[in-house]
A and B are shown apart, each in its own frame.
Chain A
Amino acid sequence: MAIFLLRRLGVMLLTTLCLTFVVFWLTNLQPNLEKLAKTQGNMRMTDAQVASWLEARGYARPILMKYGEWLGVVPGFVNLSADGSVQARCLDDGMTIETAPRYCGVLQGEWGYSTVFREDVSDIISIRLGLTAKLMLWVMILMVPSALLLGVLAGMREGSRTDRALSTISITTTATPEYVSGVILIAVFASSAVGLKWFKGTATSAMEDANFENFFLPVLTIALFGMGYIARMTRASMAEVMTAQYIRTARLKGVSFPNIVMKHALRNALIAPFTVIMLQFPWLLNGVVIVETLFNYKGFGWTLVQAAGNNDIELLLGVSVVSVIVVLVTQLISDIGYVYLNPRISVS
């Protein structure tokens, strides 16, 4: 088991490296850098000025070297220009070139500085990630049990009226993307268009003080989308399990229907959807981008939109690293959980 974990961690590390490099390379393409120079310096800079601005701040060097610096495995860039002013990557406020550290990258905990928010990337990410985690937690609490319930109820008697009704519901919710369902929900429950002003159409206040009124709509919007999908998977797997021979064995042992479902079918039926639920995490990250923007909830997704929209290279990089880690960790958990659910698979 320990070796398995170590290997998986190794793979995760490698994947993170590759993915961040891709993001790093894309954000450091020449047009991006020129844009950066103009927003940071002066909108009316000439091409020559842009070039020298980039030169002075170390942006013009080979991509691998810059990536190494960002990681913290290559010493930070230092430029002592002729006029005595110092440009250095690792130079923070209140530091001189002598006291500044040689390395300052992700490995040293230096995630860089956000040009949009004028704050350290690590601070932004930790606050925003916390807010999104709160949102996700409630989404999961709402989505997983209701999806499983829906799926199990539909799948235990395949083809029955309950099955068809519940299947229609889950197909409809999966087929409605968040930007549609979100808008509809706001229109129905939070605006004067229908008049049911049960909830608030914005979740900004939920960042400090989340309650049912200001938080339910965004949670519901994300949950609805993911719920249908999980319910469909659960239904399929439940329906399959219910036709298995060992279910017939249980039936002919005299086990009652509720007990067949609970004791014999459920665990076998949950093996497949478990992976799907874990796979939902990356999808949720996706949905979070739309929903947070829609409800003006300033979490991780909203930050991503801001960073991407404003060419905030360091913030964008930080966000992508964290996303990659979230995805990989959930996959690891799903693999380990799989082993516990399915006795036929063992890792060690």
Chain B
Amino acid sequence: MKEPYDGPILEIDGLSISFFTRLREIPAVMDFSVKVQPGEAVGLVGESGCGKSTVALGVMRDLGRNGRIVGGAIRFKGRDMADLSDSELRQIRGNEIAMIYQEPMASLNPAMKIDRQLMEVPMLHEGISEAQARSRALEVVADVKLPDPERILKAYPHQLSGGQQQRIVIAMALMSKPALLILDEPTTALDVTVEASIVELVKDLGRKYGTSMLFISHNLGLVLETCDQICVMYSGEAVERGSIEDVFDQMQHPYTQALFRSIPLPGADKNAHPLVAIPGNFPLPHERPKGCNFGPRCDYFEAGRCDAGHIPMFDVPGNERQSTRCVRFREIDWASPPTIGATHEKGEAGKVVLRMEALKKYYKVAANALFGGEKKVVKANETLSFEARESETLAIVGESGCGKSTFAKVLMGLETATEGQILLDGKNIEQIPIEKRDTKTIADVQMVFQNPFDTLNPSMTVGRQIIRALEIFGIGKTEADRHRRMLELLDLVKLPREFAGRMPRQLSGGQKQRVGIARAFAGDARIVVADEPVSALDVSVQAAVTDLLMEIQREQKTTLLFISHDLSIVRYLSDRVMVMYLGHVVELGDTAQVFSPPFHPYTEALLSAVPIADTSVKKKHIVLEGDVPSAMNPPPGCPFQTRCRWKSRVPGDLCETEVPPMRRMAEGHQVKCHLSEAEFVTMEPVIEVRTEDA
């Protein structure tokens, strides 16, 4: 039974966790301490591989066969977890500490109905009857705001959408009203608007149930929105700890500072205020430097002091509960602005190279996979019209299922268009599949893919893969020519020339993505479609890869079609933005026009959903209800009408019956909406930067 307890819920004190392999001991977490008070939410932030998930699993004492806690103590409600027997531990798991995971689909049992999976928790821990457990499940499912709880309970996980699945995982965690909730990147796999609604839900439930939370994330903006305390981790160590306000506004560790400078906050601009990437790479666990782990990448590094030996956490005077693992934190002038790298002139957009005219792509899908039957039409792209100019960055923004990838496929020639035209230098290419395109066209239109881990051939060296692309594009007369060109390409993407002989598995994510970029530019591509090129990468690497893309673009006057769902990065680097929803372009315009009112209601919601890691930013709070409708079965009229908060302002049932026309708001700014001119004027900006400190 749960006893009342009023000390800290969770106390981690000097925790060290190692994984043991045949070769060596790999320390994953070293000397890690954190305290979670009742009702408090603590954010654990760091890049992948920094040990934040290991801490969570350490708390649950579920480190697998190779992991072991080698030092320190974890106290839950004052009891040392190490003293607990297996059955006592089971009593705590799921009952007093519950966990929410990154991938909801994978963490639900595919062969078990939702109700069974939910009911199991209280039946196990409280021994209540099946009927009681079921009524509890019904209650909690209603609490996580799922429609039609009865139907949901009877479903299998695969019958629900990603957002719904995550709500079920949350419901499962709340079934026994735990004292501590551990959330391990709970929204990483979800779309931004879904993410916003899940975060909202978690905050509400935390308040309602009085649950303490340990929120693990790589996204500083999310942590700002959800947590009271934050702990920044780097390479297995906590480097800074403190309240959100202290750490965000008065950071006391160089890594925290570098992290904030490498994410695109409002106000960052690719030309005037470029991002500052963290130099170097994350150290591998067995190659950590002596002394400060961040030393080799730190601007404030001082030989002899920073690499002298173990560095403890220092309390920051004046700020309660803030501490930092930096020996020089008193000497560093934290307020000094970053040394801005080279600033650039804004590139002039040249002539139109690519023009889409009323492009449509429909897929015919058999209603029944096995026997055909009635054919359904999925309208993946609906009358896409835009043009892209030389050395321009056009961002295409939208959530999964909005048709942005289909558009990329049609442009690349992997699919042919159903209707409309694609004009590349005035030539129609929409009906020519990639096998029939001439080498020049293929080399001109290239793609950088989302996941650099899957798009390189694992059994071919990096150099060979680039040379292969050169062969296909017919560049270079001899093998030696091509080899020279390949080395030049490696220079272009700022990889050392030795990398030519390496295998993809020896490269880090950022380096692989650079190879991907080198391959795309092998034939002097003029149009590059970058499909979420940095979303699989860590924050500090993202900045470097983005900058690289920008730099190559400036040099080669490339047209960049940047597909993304991350509006922060889009605002940072794009010249124009196209917002898509369910196959429709709902808004198109200059970056400034799209990011300020008047906007399409969907753009407004999208902007509000993006978490921003800046305490001086005030955001309007808009949460979209429900999921994106299925493209197989789109709503009649305006595609966005089912979730639109402005719908009531449109007279009659115009939104439900008619697809709105594309309206010109200003020069080059178009919005697909029925709202009247007067309503558009009343729209307020979503993001406001408080100007007192600017």
Contact = CB atoms under 8 A, between A and B. Distances in A.
A268 B156 CA distance: 13
B107 A245 contact: yes
A9 interface: no
A268 B109 contact: yes
Contact of A253 (B65, B110, B112, B172): B172
A253 B169 CA distance: 11
Interface residues of B, number: 32
A254 B121 CA distance: 8
Interface residues of A, number: 27
Contacts of B94: 252-255
A343 B371 contact: no
| Chain A to chain B: the 9 pairs with minimum beta-carbon distance, closest first | A253-B94, A254-B94, A245-B106, A254-B93, A254-B90, A246-B109, A343-B156, A249-B107, A267-B111
Given A7-B371, A245-B103, A252 B93 contact: yes
Interface in B124-141: 124-125
B101 interface: yes
Contacts of A263: 112, 120
6 contacts: A249-B109, A254-B90, A256-B90, A263-B120, A264-B109, A268-B111
Interface in B97-115: 98-99, 101, 103, 106-112
Contacts of B166: none
A341 B111 contact: yes
B121 to A, nearest CB: 6
Nearest to A250: B109
Nearest to A245: B106
Given A3-B371, A248-B101, A343-B111, 8 more contacts: A159-B65, A246-B107, A252-B99, A253-B98, A253-B172, A254-B124, A255-B120, A267-B112
A284 to B, nearest CB: 28
B137 to A, nearest CB: 13
A255 B99 CA distance: 14
Interface string A102-130: 00000000000000000000000000000
B110 A254 contact: no
Contact of A244 (B90, B106, B156): B106
Interface string B364-375: 000010110000
Contacts of B124: 253-255
Contact of B156 (A251, A255, A271, A344): A344
A198 interface: no
Contacts of B106: 244-246
A253 B120 contact: yes
User: Which residue, of B103, B107, B111, has the highest number of chain A Cβ atoms within 10 A?
Assistant: B111
Contacts of A341: 111
Interface string B54-88: 00000010100100000000000000000000010
B258 interface: no
Interface of A: 3-4, 7, 159, 244-246, 248-256, 263-264, 267-268, 271, 341-344, 347-348
Nearest to B95: A254
Nearest to A271: B111
B158 interface: yes
A151 B87 CA distance: 27
A348 B91 CA distance: 43
Contacts of B158: 343-344
A246 B114 CA distance: 13
Which of A244, A253, A343 has the most CB atoms of chain B within a 10 A radius of its CB? Answer: A253
A344 B108 CA distance: 13
Contacts of A343: 110-111, 156, 158
B417 interface: no
Contacts of A244: 106
Nearest to A342: B111
Contacts of B93: 251-254
Contacts of A159: 65
A306 to B, nearest CB: 42
A204 to B, nearest CB: 46
A245 B368 CA distance: 31
B263 interface: no
A155 to B, nearest CB: 15
A29 to B, nearest CB: 40
Interface string B573-594: 0000000000000000000000
B92 interface: yes
A3 B109 CA distance: 30
A295 B386 CA distance: 80
B293 to A, nearest CB: 29
Nearest to B91: A254
A4 B110 contact: no
A327 to B, nearest CB: 22
Contacts of A348: 368, 370
A267 B111 CA distance: 7
Given A246-B108, A254-B93, A268-B111, A347 B120 contact: no
B136 to A, nearest CB: 14
Nearest to A265: B109
Contacts of B121: 253-254
B370 A254 contact: no
A250 B565 CA distance: 33
Nearest to B155: A343
B92 A4 contact: no
Contacts of A248: 62, 101, 107
A7 B371 CA distance: 9
Nearest to B99: A252
Contact of B92 (A3, A245, A250, A254): A254
Contacts of B370: 4, 347-348
Contacts of B112: 263-264, 267
A286 B265 CA distance: 70
A44 B289 CA distance: 95
A251 B124 CA distance: 12
Contacts of A251: 62, 93
A7 to B, nearest CB: 7
Contacts of A3: 371
Contacts of B120: 253, 255, 263
Contacts of B107: 245-246, 248-249
A140 to B, nearest CB: 24
A251 B370 CA distance: 37
A342 B101 CA distance: 23
B500 to A, nearest CB: 36
A252 B182 CA distance: 11
B98 to A, nearest CB: 8
Contacts of B172: 249, 253
B128 to A, nearest CB: 14
A76 B120 CA distance: 68
Contact of B60 (A252, A267, A347): A252
B156 A249 contact: no
Nearest to B102: A245
Contacts of B368: 348
B62 A246 contact: no
B116 to A, nearest CB: 8
A245 B111 contact: no
Contact of B108 (A4, A7, A249, A271): A249
A253 B174 CA distance: 11
| Residue among A249, A271, A348 having the largest count of chain B Cβ atoms under 10 Å | A249
Given A253-B120, A254-B90, A4 B371 contact: yes
B174 to A, nearest CB: 12
A271 B108 CA distance: 17
Interface in B159-193: 169, 172
Contacts of A255: 90, 94, 120, 124
A347 B111 CA distance: 17
B312 to A, nearest CB: 32
B60 to A, nearest CB: 5
Given A245-B103, A344-B156, A347-B370, A252 B111 contact: no
